[in-house]
Amino acid sequence: MGQAEPQPRRYTVEEYLAMEEKSEVRHEFFEGEIFAMAGADISHNLIGVNLVSAFKQSLRGKSCRALMEGVQLAVQEGRHYTYPDVMITCDAADQQAKRIVKAPVLLIEILSPSTSEYDRGRKFNQYKQLPSLQHYLLVSQTSWLVEWYRREPGNIWSFTPLVEAEDALFIPDLNINLTVAEIYEGTDVAPLRVAEEPIAAYAGQRPQ
């Protein structure tokens, strides 16, 4: 008779949060399981810095915060916690938060080969359950490509690919007007080549 497969240890939320306060490695949490996050490379870091720096200028004078990487998001409190690469929150309670925010208006994940399917699929489906969320962006590290999802009336998510240098992330409510060239400034990420066409599978689709 074969041996049963060992089951992963399950943690309480209290155990997880206490561990994260002391751990040098960040972990995401989903229904009792924890998942270690890999370290970011230089391109990933530079893209994040470009985004947060631009957002901080855009949000000057507004009751909003632009946050980067090490801040936790309670996607579903007591059930699911992540570390988005970039967040903007304008929620009053989040302005007082020390470690965990709960009501972002904008989330960004900078894609890597190991996380792109998760960020585009299951994680996005979880993020869509946040009532506050209006914008979700996936930023490629392999070529100039920003996938911009927006919550429209009727709770429908529209999709806009930003590819050309002058294509802009334009969000008047947050005073954001940021071009693709500015997002990738100072990185070694190259513009998208016509032959690659990686966005064809997504153009015109609305995630369910």
Give residue limits of the domains in the chain.
40-183
157 vs 47: CA distance, rounded Å? 24
CA 27 to chain centre: 15
Looking at residue 103, the DSSP 8-state letter turns out to be -
- Each residue's pLDDT tens digit, 35-77: 777 756 899 999 999 999 999 999 999 999 999 988 999 999 8
Residue 46 corresponds to which tokens in the numbers above? 């530079």
Q: Which CATH superfamily is domain 40-183 in?
A: tt1808, chain A (3.90.1570.10)
pTM of the model: 0.84
Read off the amino acid at residue 103: A
- Each residue's pLDDT tens digit, 126-143: 999 999 999 999 999 999
- Residues 6+ away with beta carbon under 8 Å from 183: 47, 50, 51, 54, 139, 146, 169
- According to DSSP, the residues that pair with 117 across neighbouring strands are none
Q: How many residues does the chain have?
A: 208
- List helix spans (H) across the chain: 13-22, 42-58, 92-96, 116-120, 122-127, 180-183
